[in-house]
Amino acid sequence: MPRSVATALLAILLFSCGRDLPVPGPGVRAGPGGVPRITAAHIPRGRYGRHRIRTMRPRYITVHSTQNFSRGADARSHARMLQRGALKGPNNSLGFITWHYTVDEDAIYQSLPDHEQGQHADYEGPGNRYSIGIEMCENRGNSRRRTVDRTARLVAYLMHRHGIPLSRVVPHYHWQRVRFSDGKVMGRKNCPHFLLDRGRPGRKWQRFLRQIDSCH
């Protein structure tokens, strides 16, 4: 079998779970076999949450939920807020809150390159230094089921792309937060709250990991 054909078949096997995705439009990149369609909406280099860039080699994927329930708070809206520096982080070392991907029922927007650190998990801890941050939208009218499904496919794609094992896909809760500004221990966050059981990883989180695994 020609190598190009074998590669295409492998991609289809890895990324064929879930429903078909829309055909990419301008500014959107997609790969073979149903790789999640991603709209590039990077924070401007040298400004706001990228005024200081720290590189990383991704070792983890951290999954969050926005807890923003406003009707218009979809993935595009969050990406625009990051692009104009609207989300301040007065207690972190950057001065802004940043993460890599935002997901809703219909779309995925990328705000940071995978190899740049964000400020989304644990201030100066390993969650920010070594993990890709993904935020799931919770705006009114958004389908949680479809958002979780799209997130699972994105996580599977990123695992394959960066060689990250399923054991290193974690909820925000996983990271102990120690505030940069004053060293105060903030504890663990109940996030993503709808994938945790009584504020901790349990059956819901394990079900989500199985969903990711079925896509990988």
Extract the tokens encoding 109.
Answer: 């927007």
Q: What is the pTM of this model?
A: 0.85
Least confident of 31-45, 150-164, 173-187: 31-45
What's the DSSP call for residue 77?
Answer: H
- CA–centroid distance for 111 within its chain: 10
pLDDT in tens, 99-151: 999 999 999 999 999 999 999 999 999 999 999 999 999 999 999 999 999 99
Domain ranges of the chain: 3-215
Task: For residues 196-213, give the mean pLDDT.
Answer: 97
More confident residue, 139 or 35: 139
* Rounded Cα distance, 127 and 58, in Å: 10
Assigned architecture for domain 3-215: 3-Layer(aba) Sandwich (3.40)
More confident residue, 193 or 26: 193
In the chain, the percentage of residues whose pLDDT exceeds 90 is 82
In the chain, the percentage of residues whose pLDDT exceeds 70 is 84
